[in-house]
Structure 1
Amino acid sequence: MANWLVLAEQVLGGHELTDEEALAILDCPDEELLLLLQGAYRIRSAYYGNKVKLNMIINAKSGLCPENCGYCSQSAVSTAPVKTYKMVDKETLLRGAEEAHRLRIGTYCIVASGRGPSDKEIDTVVSAVKEIKERFGLKVCACLGILKPEQAARLKEAGVDRYNHNINTSKQHHPNITTSHTYDDRVRTVETVKEAGLSPCSGVIIGMKETKRDVVDMARSLRALDADSIPVNFLHAIDGTPLAGTNELNPRYCLKVLALFRYMNPTKEIRIAGGREVNLRSLQPLGLYAANSIFVGDYLTTAGQEKSADYQMLEDLGFEIEFAPVPQAGVVS
């Protein structure tokens, strides 16, 4: 039996997992799962206590994407029946921010499909973010695709706090998932974001026929990238996409993956993201002993569970919602 608490203390002391230790976490026997999570919680609580960060997505532009990502219902190769529309207007983004503020959401995520944003789309986001900051004081994360340095600088100047661009999978597995852009394209965007002074957010999708070695490589790559926030998605296979019918995950393995990301990236925000409800199922609460962040509400083209169920889950766990936006004068909370 591995001593997961000892490993957790070593991580808190600055130890970086070896590949052998990382694979052992993913291969953890089910009967040791609670001990593994106890170690993960020891690390999580050292940096985040019992606080949970809430995030909410607005799908600001849907479908119409020329990329061929195998997991995505919005891609050019998908036949899934999703809504398609161009970038929404400023007023729609503001209404979403108002809803996020009402729900005590810490980070409001403006997400748009496509390879990368046009300058006109950047104009819309910049205009909206300035007002979101003035009215609600929300933390804003943008996820608009591959970004040019001058676009990143504009977002930073407008008040965007964070930019999300996921690596999604390992470098070696990437060509099996998409060929319309490279793994290095994704890494380059994360570096561009960092150079502009934006907080980098980059994560993964688990369950896309990758190996456990691939999962370890993902966790280590994000450590090397120094991503501040790491969303861990679990594939929700959608009919009409190349990965339709893929069903490799079970809730216990998902918990081991979350534990791995916590042990490998101890100081970072680990967020349980898309696919949480369909893959973790009744074990969702246990995920928060490793992760310290979740999405509330719907995702891009798939539904989340009822918001009230998430708030009840956090209350039942005894966890505290981390919510600290500072609305400006004239705004009623």
Structure 2
Amino acid sequence: MDWNRLAEAALAGDAISPEEARAVLAAPEDELLPLLAAAARVRRAHFGTTVKLNFLLNVKSGLCPEDCHYCSQSAVSTAGIARHPILPLPDILAAADRAVRVKAARFCVVASGRGPSDREVDALAESVRAVRAAHPDLEVCACLGLLKDHQAERLREAGVFAYNHNLNTSERFYAEICGTHTFQDRVATIERAKAVGLSPCAGALFGMGE
């Protein structure tokens, strides 16, 4: 595949074909550097050499009942990680202060677990309001697991801008990496976030045997 030709097409505003997209995904190892160089041309044309810095805070660590095989915080992991409940407001606000000092554009509160309890959502909503009051220009993102409708609305009302919830892998392969919730459970949470006006931030993990 001529990666530079694909880059030229992208720079001209032309869409690549499904076959070309599959070729990108199937690129052999010895073509990865030329592929990355071609992709960098497109990135530089649209974004220059700037990056957007996100600052992540683990507001709840461990204590998770799920069996996601890839995660050090899952119930089946033996990793020696810290375990603590939701951090108090002063700790979260102090972390947001650090995010601003290092010029982060987005501050993301990340919690382990299947999904937050209403009490946890209330506590985080209070913290998010404090962060937004102190730093109005700082975007706040949340990554808390599976959400209920009213929880998504509560987060948006508190000032959360985006919701991170990865799909992780394909629907077909999902049962191989997790047995305590489904691919559709994750899709439903993304749809709930979108429905209340949260910007969805969703991606995938690769290299898990798929």
Give me the TM-score of the superposition, normalised by structure 2: 0.92
Distance 1:50 1:207, change over 3 A: same
Partner residue in 1 for 2:194: 194
Partner residue in 2 for 1:296: none
User: How far is the alpha carbon of 1:107 from its aligned partner?
Assistant: 1.1
Partner residue in 2 for 1:152: 152
Partner residue in 2 for 1:263: none
Aligned pairs, number: 208
User: How far is the alpha carbon of 1:17 from its aligned partner?
Assistant: 4.2
Q: Show structure 1 runs of 4+ deviating over 4 A.
A: none
Give the 5 Å matches for 1:1-333: 2-12=1-11, 13-18=13-18, 20-137=19-136, 138-210=138-210
Q: 1:84, 1:30 → 2: CA distance?
A: 39
Q: 1:113, 1:81 → 2: CA distance?
A: 15
Which amino acid is the alignment partner of residue 97 of structure 1? A
Is the contact made by 1:140 and 1:160 (CA closer than 8 Å) also made in structure 2? yes
Is the contact made by 1:11 and 1:17 (CA closer than 8 Å) also made in structure 2? no
Unaligned segments of structure 2, at least 5 residues: none
Distance 1:171 1:14, change over 3 A: farther
User: How far is the alpha carbon of 1:21 from its aligned partner?
Assistant: 2.1
Partner residue in 2 for 1:274: none
Q: 2:31, 2:168 → 1: CA distance?
A: 28
SS state of the match for residue 67, structure 2?
coil
User: How far is the alpha carbon of 1:31 from its aligned partner?
Assistant: 4.7
User: How far is the alpha carbon of 1:95 from its aligned partner?
Assistant: 0.9
Which amino acid is the alignment partner of residue 153 of structure 2? A
More relative contact order, 1 or 2 (CA 8 Å, 6+ apart) = 1
SS state of the match for residue 4, structure 2?
helix
Is the contact made by 2:63 and 2:112 (CA closer than 8 Å) also made in structure 1? yes
Distance 1:30 1:69, change over 3 A: closer
Distance 1:30 1:116, change over 3 A: closer
CA deviations 1:95-145 (Å, max 9, x no partner) are 110111111111111000111111111111111111111212311110011
Is the contact made by 2:56 and 2:110 (CA closer than 8 Å) also made in structure 1? yes
Q: 2:31, 2:175 → 1: CA distance?
A: 35
Q: 1:150, 1:125 → 2: CA distance?
A: 14
Q: 2:91, 2:16 → 1: CA distance?
A: 44
Distance 1:196 1:17, change over 3 A: farther
Q: Could you tell me the percent identity over the aligned residues? A: 50
Distance 1:32 1:207, change over 3 A: closer
